[in-house]
Amino acid sequence: MNTIEKTSLATLDVGVSDATEGGADAGRRRFVGAVGAAAIVSSSSLMRPAWAQSAKLKVGVLLPRSGVQAFVGQSCQFGADVAPAVLKSLFGVDIELMNADTETNVDTARSRAERLISEGAQVLVGAFDSGASLAIAQVAEQKGVPFVINIAAAPQITEQGYKFTFRNFPTSVDLVVNGLGLARDLFLATGTAPRTAVFMHVNDTFGQANKAAIASILPKLDYLPFKLLDTIAYDPAAKDLTVEVARAKATKADFLLLVCRLNDAIILRREMVKQRWNPMGIIGPGNPGMYEAQFYAALGKLSDHCISNVPWYDPKSVVTKAIDAQMRKQFPKEKLMYHALNVGFTFESIQIVADAFKRSRSNDPKVLAEAIRQTNIASRMMLGGPIKFNAKGQVEGIASACIQNFNQRPMVVLPAASAEAKPVFPVPGYVRA
C-alpha cells in the first residue's frame, strides 16, 4: 500500500521558524582540545586571527524533522547542531543557526524558507529531500539568497537553471559511477568475478534517478564482469517484500545490486534469510539504508557484511575528529558513524556558507552567493577532492567509499588509503546463533 502523509495534513502551515540559538552553549566553544589545536595549526591558511566581524552569519537550516522523513531530518539536524561550535573552534567563524522544520511538505518548506529570510537569515541550507529542496530553491532564487543543499540527488536540480542554489552532494550519476567503480575495486581486492547480478530498486525519486543512471552507465563499463539478469522495482512504502525477494531469488543471480532506503532494506534483509537466499553479497551502489543506526538495531548480526558504496567521511580528517568530539559532547547517546553521511553533508553545507562569509566579510546574500561560487575548501570532512562549485552550482569529484558492515558497525574497506578493515566478498551465509 502507499504512503499517505497524514502529518502533511497539518500543512496549511505557514511557518514561523522555530528559530533557536544554535551554539549558545558557551562551554561548547571551549572544547578545543589537542585535536582542535592540531586542526587550527594544519588549517592555518584558513585562520586569520585578525579577522574580526561584528555580526554573526545567520544560517537558516531547513530539515524534515517531522512527517514521513522525520528520522533522516533529525539525523541531519545533528550535523547542524554541532556546526557552530566546530566552525568557531576550527575556523574562527561565528554563525547563528535558525532552525525550521519542513514537516516533509513542500508548501511548508517554501513558506518556512520565506519566514527564515524575513527573520534575517542570510543563507539557507537543507533540505534533505529533492522536492523540498526545489521548493526552497524557488524562494532562494526570487530573493537572491544563496541556498546550499545538503542532501538531494536528483540530477535535474542543478540542471534547471538556478543561480542561487548550490549542491555539495553527488548527483545520482556521480553516485552510481563511483559506486560501480568501487564494485570493480572490491572484486579486484577479493579476487572474485561474479557473473550475474539482480538489480532491485525502490521506486521513488531517488531510486528512479539511480535506476536511470545505472541503465545508462552500466552498458558502457566494460570492466565489470557481471550482467544484470533482472530489474525489480518496488514500492517505497512496501511493508512486505516477499514477492520481490522471491523473484530475485529465482533469478539465481550471483549477487544483489540494491538501491534501497532504510525501512525497506531491513524488511528485505530479513526476507532474504526467511527465504534462505544467500547470494555472494549485497552491494548498494550509492544509496542509504544499510549503514544507518536503525539498520543495525533492527537486524543485529544480520546486518553484517552488507556493502554500501557511498560518500563517507574521512576517518582521518581533522574536521571529522572535531565533529566526532563535539557530537560526543553534545549528544552523548549518538555516534557519528551511524549518522555519517547525514551529519557530514549537513555540516559541510554550513561549512561552505561559513567559509564564504569569512572570505567575503559580508552578510549580504548577493556577495555571499558570489563568494560561494568561489569556494575552494580542502580541509573537509567527507572523502573527495576540494569543495568547488561548477558553473551550475554543483560540486564535482565527491568520492565514495566502500563501506562494509562488521560487528554491527560500518567500516571503510576501500579505498585502501582510508580503510579500517579488509573487504569480505563473497560474504559468509547467515548462520543462526
Partner 1 sequence: MSFELIGNVLIAGVLSGLVYGLMALGLSVIFGVVRVVNFAHGEMMTAAMFAAVVLFNTWGIDPFMAVIPVVVVFFALGYLLQRAIINPFITRPEHSQFMLLVAVAIIMVNALLIAFGPNARNVQVDYQLESFELGPLLVDAARLYAAGAALVCSAAVFSFFRFTMTGKAIRACADNHMGAKVVGLDIRHLYALTFGLGSACVAAAGCMMVLLVDVTPQLGPAYTLMAFVIVIVGGLGSMPGALLGGILIGVSEAGAGLFITPSAKSMVSFALLVVVLLLRPQGLLGKRP
Partner 2 sequence: MFSQINPRARGLLAALALLLLILPWIANNYVLSVAVLILYFAYTGQAWNVMMGFCGQLSLGHSLYVGIGGYSAAALFVHFGIGPWGGALVAVAASMLVGAIIGFLAFRFGIGGVYFALLTIAFAEFTRLGFDHWQWLGASGGFFLPVKQREFNDLLNLRGSPVMFYYVMLALATAALAFCTWLLRTRIGYYWLAIREDQQAAQALGINTFRCKMIAVLISSGMTSLAGVFFAFYYNNLFPEQIFNMGRSIEIILGPIIGGIGTLFGPILGAALLALLADGITELMAQIGIELPGIKQVFYGSCLLLVTMFLPNGVWPALARRLGLVSAPGPDPAGNTVRHPDG
Return phi, psi of residue 35, to 5°.
-60, -50
DSSP state, residue 296: H
Write out the H or E segment, with its range, that includes residue 239. none
User: By the criterion CB under 8 A, which residues form the site for partner 1?
Assistant: 1-7, 9-10, 66-68, 70-71, 73-74, 203, 232-235, 237-244, 246-247, 250, 262-263, 266-267, 270, 273-276, 293-294, 297-298, 300, 302, 432
Closest among 243, 298, 305, 312 to 279, alpha carbons compared: 305
> Under 8 Å CB-to-CB from 152, ≥6 apart: which residues?
127, 128, 129, 130, 133, 167, 169
Does 85 bind partner 2 (CB under 8 A)? Our answer is no
**Would you say 36 or 126 has its CB closer to partner 1?**
126
What minimum distance in Å lies between the beta carbon of 67 and partner 2? 8
**Binding residue for partner 2, selected from 110, 249, 261, 359, defined by CB under 8 A:** 110
**Binding residue for partner 2, selected from 53, 196, 208, 275, defined by CB under 8 A:** 208
Q: Using CB atoms within 10 A of its CB, is residue 332 exposed (0-12), middle (13-18) or buried (19+)?
A: exposed
- Cβ contact 423:190 at 8 Å: yes
What minimum distance in Å lies between the beta carbon of 10 and partner 1? 6
**Binding residue for partner 2, selected from 33, 41, 118, 364, defined by CB under 8 A:** 118
Q: How far apart are CA 79 and CA 172, in angstroms?
A: 22
Does 330 bind partner 2 (CB under 8 A)? Our answer is no
What minimum distance in Å lies between the beta carbon of 126 and partner 2? 15
Q: Which long-range contacts (CB under 8 A, 24 or more apart) does 47-54 make?
A: 47/91, 47/92, 48/92, 48/358, 49/92, 51/92, 51/358, 51/361, 53/94, 53/357, 53/361
Does 217 bind partner 2 (CB under 8 A)? Our answer is no
What minimum distance in Å lies between the beta carbon of 396 and partner 1? 31
**Would you say 233 or 419 has its CB closer to partner 1?**
233
**Binding residue for partner 2, selected from 29, 92, 94, 143, defined by CB under 8 A:** 143
Binds 115: which of partner 1, partner 2, none (CB < 5-8 Å by kind) = partner 2
Closest among 189, 149, 93, 198 to 415, alpha carbons compared: 189
Kind of pairing, strands 165-167 and 57-63? unpaired
Q: At what angle do helices 318-330 and 70-91 cross, to 10 degrees?
A: 120
Q: Where are the strands (E) in 8-160, listed by range?
A: 57-63, 95-101, 123-126, 147-149
Positive or negative torsion for Cα 199, 201, 203, 206:
negative
> Under 8 Å CB-to-CB from 74, ≥6 apart: which residues?
63, 65
Q: How far apart are CA 266 and CA 268, in angstroms?
A: 5
What minimum distance in Å lies between the beta carbon of 71 and partner 1? 4
**Binding residue for partner 2, selected from 28, 56, 58, 115, defined by CB under 8 A:** 115
Does 42 bind partner 2 (CB under 8 A)? Our answer is no
User: Hey, is 6 helix, strand or coil?
Assistant: coil
Does 287 bind partner 2 (CB under 8 A)? Our answer is no
Does 231 bind partner 2 (CB under 8 A)? Our answer is no
What minimum distance in Å lies between the beta carbon of 65 and partner 2? 4
What minimum distance in Å lies between the beta carbon of 251 and partner 1? 10
Does 207 bind partner 2 (CB under 8 A)? Our answer is yes
**Would you say 85 or 248 has its CB closer to partner 1?**
248
Binding residues (CB under 8 A) for partner 2: these are: 2-20, 65-66, 70, 73-74, 99, 101, 103, 106-107, 110-111, 114-115, 117-118, 130-131, 134-135, 138-139, 141-143, 154, 156, 159-163, 203-205, 207-209, 212, 236
